Amino acid sequence: MSGLSSVVVVGASVAGLRAAETLRDEGFDGALTLIGAEEHRPYDRPPLSKDLLIGISEPADVALRVRGDLDAEWILGDAAARLDLRRRVVVTESGREAAFDGVVLATGSAPRRLPALDVEREGVVELRTLEDALALRECLRERPRVVLVGSGFIGVEVASSARTLGADVDVVSLDPPLIVAGTLFSDVCRGMLVDHGVRLHLGRSVAEVVGGEHVEAVALDDGTRLPADLILVAVGARPVTGWLDGSGLRLEDGVVCDASLAAVGAEGVVVAGDIARWPNPLFGGLSMRVEHWTNAAEQGAAAARTLVHGASPETAFASVPSFWSDHFGGRLQSVGLPGLADRVEVVGGAVEERRFVAAAYKGEQLVGATTYGMVRALMPYRAALARREPAMTEA
């Protein structure tokens, strides 16, 4: 899209910041506005459950550097409430209006919630923002009895951090830990949790929070009662798209986009990060939505290029999804979509040493690879996925 004179970026996190930077790099010299629900300028979220939580990092350490030449207006602590495509304005919760020729939607995700666990109740918390992490850090310093509900990335990372700080930890989850990475890696993670003194209650859910003014315990669906001073709810995330209801955009577990991250059926609207659902050319146009830091950063830049130059084969976003998780002194890292696999092969290291790499195949097609502690061995698989190679026989 040429002739842009004003762009609004909705979402002041890594995807929004990378979009703003790329707009300037691509020659956009018009009015640039960034809108953020939080009062902070952009910061890194991955450390919130790890280094920041255990006190190795402080808020200044996780702040993302903002270029001096960005020349942008910041509207912070005032979340977007409505997108009016007819009038070409974003309306915030306070009623402020930001006009645009082009708009980047990058409002990220928010924690999923459970009916039995009201996060407004004292002692029941979630982890998404910097304030959440700092408040949780203060609680963990008292070495409380912690019940973690959920065993995905956040749940496992907080379990690791809480045990590092000496807290007593139970994990309640319907699913095995880190099952998104596959059964092999889930089993290894389960062993790590047990070895570090975390008690697991798998296949279970919370029926009731027990206590009056203060949380005292959690009652599970099988009648088990777990003493608790603090309950952390970490059962996944949902895309923040409610503010787009009635906008005319297609919303299907995210904002539906074309391969260049342009919102389907809307002019001058591009999408990046956790809310973008797009057909990834590297996986045969498979529709996907990815909730990881690397994807957010890369999509922010790609969406900005599409806004400036228009959607075309040259601006298609062909990405190898990747993620990492640090817990109990080890790093789990993955590339591609191993969840599509019907066959997983250990191709290096040793599972019993918790240091290995595994390749994931669907038929003879390489679809992903994952490792504990052997990042270099993972790199050839990432390169093969980027080249759309059908298979690799050697690591």
- pLDDT for 261 equals 98
- pLDDT for 11 equals 98
pTM reported for the whole predicted model: 0.94
Q: Which residues of the chain have pLDDT under 70?
A: 1-2, 389-395
Q: What is the DSSP string of 200-268?
A: EEET--EEEEEESSSEEEEEETTS-EEE-SEEEE---EEE--GGGTTSS--BSSSEEB-TTSBBTT-TT
Distance CA 294, CA 324 (A): 10
Question: Which residues have C-beta within 8 Å of that of residue 368, sequence separation ≥ 6?
Answer: 334, 335, 336, 337, 338, 339, 340, 341, 359, 360, 381, 385
Angle at 13 between CA 9 and CA 18, to 5 degrees: 65
Distance CA 101, CA 88 (A): 7
- pLDDT for 157 equals 97
Q: What is the DSSP string of 160-211?
A: HHHHHTT-EEEEEESS-TTGGG-HHHHHHHHHHHHHTT-EEEET--EEEEEE
- pLDDT for 2 equals 55
- pLDDT for 1 equals 43
- pLDDT for 395 equals 28
Domains of the chain: 6-110+238-315 (3.50.50.60), 124-235 (3.50.50.60), 329-386 (3.30.390.30)
Q: What is the DSSP string of 270-311?
A: EE-GGGEEEEEGGGTTEEE---SHHHHHHHHHHHHHHHHH-S
Cα 356 to chain centroid, rounded: 25
What are the pLDDT digits (tens) for 249-302? 999 999 999 999 999 999 999 999 999 999 999 898 999 999 999 999 999 999
- pLDDT for 273 equals 97
- pLDDT for 387 equals 87
